C-alpha cells in the first residue's frame, strides 16, 4: 500500500603460523585466513591456491615483525608496508643507525626523512582544516611508501589545491594527486525497507541484479526514487498497474548494493532469501513493510482478481496477514523463499484484515530479472 505526500582451497591445509604442510606450502592460522578468503584471493588477485596460501603466510609473518620493530624503533619508526614482490615487510626509519635492527628482524629497511608521528600530524592538520579546503579535494591519507601525505583531487583541481595547501607549515610533506575517484556513501538494498518517490513512500520487495522489485502502483516508468535515508537511489524501469498484475522494478545507482535479505524489523536482524519456490494455499507466510514491520499469516487463495478503485488487477494471492499504507511493494516470504510483493487490501494491523500480494516469479519473468539470494 502506497502512502501519499570453503572447504580448504584446492587441498591446501592451513595450520599454524610458520608451519609447513604437505607439499611444502606455508600455512597460516585458520583465524587469519578462512577457506572463503583464500578462494576470494584467488578470484580477485589472480592467484593460484598455492600463491594465496604463500601470501597469507608471508603477510601473517610481516604482521608479527611490524609489531616487534615498531616498539624497538621508537620515534625513528616511519611506517611499514608489505612488498608483494619480495613477500617481505618494508620498514621505514629516520635513523640509519637502526636499519640493521630492522634487517635482523627479517624485514627490509628504508631510510626516510619523516617519522610516522610527523606524517600523522600533517594528516591531522588537514583534518582540522577540512572545511576550508577546496571543493575539488576528495580525500587525504598517509602514504607510508612515499613518506608523504597524499591529497587526492578531482581532475583540473590540482593547481588550486597546491596553491592553498602551500600556506600550511607542513606543505613540504603534502603530495597532490589528481584522481577520477568521486567517493560517495554506499547503502544496502534490503527487502522491506522504505523508499520514497515524489510525495509518497513504499517498501522494497526483493533485491534483483541491478535493483529491486516492488509494487507497480508505487511508481510509473521513469519515476525517480530515494532510499530510506532520502538519498538518490534509482529509477523505475518498468511498471504494471492495474490490469495484469501490480508490479514494477527499480534500477538502482552505484551507491546502492542489492542484498539477498529482508528486514525483519527486530533490532538489526534480517532473513536471508534463498530462492523463490512458490508455497501452497494454507502455507504460513510473513511479510515485511516500512509501516508495520514484520507480520505473518497464511495463504488463503491464489490467482484472485482484485477490483481496486483504479481498476481490476488479476493474478493476486490472498492472505490474512495485515498491512497498512506504506507497506506496498514490501516482501512476502515463506521460510527463506521469496513469494511476492505487497499490493493492497483491507483492514489494518490493529483490527486485522486481508492483504493481497503480487507473486514474485511473474515479476522476474516479465522483466527478465534475476533474484539476488544469500
**Cell reading at 209:** 541484479
Cβ atoms 223, 10 nearer than 8 A: no
Contacts for 36 with CB less than 8 Å, ≥ 6 apart: 6
Cβ atoms 274, 373 nearer than 8 A: yes
CA dist 204 and 193 (Å) reads: 6
Cβ atoms 227, 207 nearer than 8 A: no
User: Among 58, 203, 207, 217, which one carries the catalytic annotation?
Assistant: 217
User: Among 54, 193, 246, 327, which one carries the catalytic annotation?
Assistant: 246
User: Among 279, 328, 331, 343, which one carries the catalytic annotation?
Assistant: 328
**Cell reading at 235:** 529509477
Bond before 242 cis per omega within 30 degrees:
yes
Helix (H, G, I), strand (E, B) or coil at 180: coil
**Cell reading at 220:** 510509473
Pick left, alpha or beta for residue 335 (phi over 0 → left; psi -120 to 50 → alpha; otherwise beta): left
| CA distances, 255 to each of 9, 179, 252 (Å) | 32, 19, 8
* 140-147 LR contacts (CB < 8 Å, sep 24+): 142/79, 142/116, 143/175, 144/78, 144/79, 144/80, 144/81, 144/92, 144/116, 144/119, 145/81, 145/90, 146/175, 147/78, 147/79, 147/92, 147/112, 147/113, 147/114, 147/119
Cβ atoms 38, 49 nearer than 8 A: yes
246 an active-site residue? Answer: yes
Which stretches within the chain are classed as H helix? 35-45, 49-73, 99-104, 116-128, 158-165, 360-367
List residues with catalytic annotation: 217, 246, 328
Amino acid at each position: 500500500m502506497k502512502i501519499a505526500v570453503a572447504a580448504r582451497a584446492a587441498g591446501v591445509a592451513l595450520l599454524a603460523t610458520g608451519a609447513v604442510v604437505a607439499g611444502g606450502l606455508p600455512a597460516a592460522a585458520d583465524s587469519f585466513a578462512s577457506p572463503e578468503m583464500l578462494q576470494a584471493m584467488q578470484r580477485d588477485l589472480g592467484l593460484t591456491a598455492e600463491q594465496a596460501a604463500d601470501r597469507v603466510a608471508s603477510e601473517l609473518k610481516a604482521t608479527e615483525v611490524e609489531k616487534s620493530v615498531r616498539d624497538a624503533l621508537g620515534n625513528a619508526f616511519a611506517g611499514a608496508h608489505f612488498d608483494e614482490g619480495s613477500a617481505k615487510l618494508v620498514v621505514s626509519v629516520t635513523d640509519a643507525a637502526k636499519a640493521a635492527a630492522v634487517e635482523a628482524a627479517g624485514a627490509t629497511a628504508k631510510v626516510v626523512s619523516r617519522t610516522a608521528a610527523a606524517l600523522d600530524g600533517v594528516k591531522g592538520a588537514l583534518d582540522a582544516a577540512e572545511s576550508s579546503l577546496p571543493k575539488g579535494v576528495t580525500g587525504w591519507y598517509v602514504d607510508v611508501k612515499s613518506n608523504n601525505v597524499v591529497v587526492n583531487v578531482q581532475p583540473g583541481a590540482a593547481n588550486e589545491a597546491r596553491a592553498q595547501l602551500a600556506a600550511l607549515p607542513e606543505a613540504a610533506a603534502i603530495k597532490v594527486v589528481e584522481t577520477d575517484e568521486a567517493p560517495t556513501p554506499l547503502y544496502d538494498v534490503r527487502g522491506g525497507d522504505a523508499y520514497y518517490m515524489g510525495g509518497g513512500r513504499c517498501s522494497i520487495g526483493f533485491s534483483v541484479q541491478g535493483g529491486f522489485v516492488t509494487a507497480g502502483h508505487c511508481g510509473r516508468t521513469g519515476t525517480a526514487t530515494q532510499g530510506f535515508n532520502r538519498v538518490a537511489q534509482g529509477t523505475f524501469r518498468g511498471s504494471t498497474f492495474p490490469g495484469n498484475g501490480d508490479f514494477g522494478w527499480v534500477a538502482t545507482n552505484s551507491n546502492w548494493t542489492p542484498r539477498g535479505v529482508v528486514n525483519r524489523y527486530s533490532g538489526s536482524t534480517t532473513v536471508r532469501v534463498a530462492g523463490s519456490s512458490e508455497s501452497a494455499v494454507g502455507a504460513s507466510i510473513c511479510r515485511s513493510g516500512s509501516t508495520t514491520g514484520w507480520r505473518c499469516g497464511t495463504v488463503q487463495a491464489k490467482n484472485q482478481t482484485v477490483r481496486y478503485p483504479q481498476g481490476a488487477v488479476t493474478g493476486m494471492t490472498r492472505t490474512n496477514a495485515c498491512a497498512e499504507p506504506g507497506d506496498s511493494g514490501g516482501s512476502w516470504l515463506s521460510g527463506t523463499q521469496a513469494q511476492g510483493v505487497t499490493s493492497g487490501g483491507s483492514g489494518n494491523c490493529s483490527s486485522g484484515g486481508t492483504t493481497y500480494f503480487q507473486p514474485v516469479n511473474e515479476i522476474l519473468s516479465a522483466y527478465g530479472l534475476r533474484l539476488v539470494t544469500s
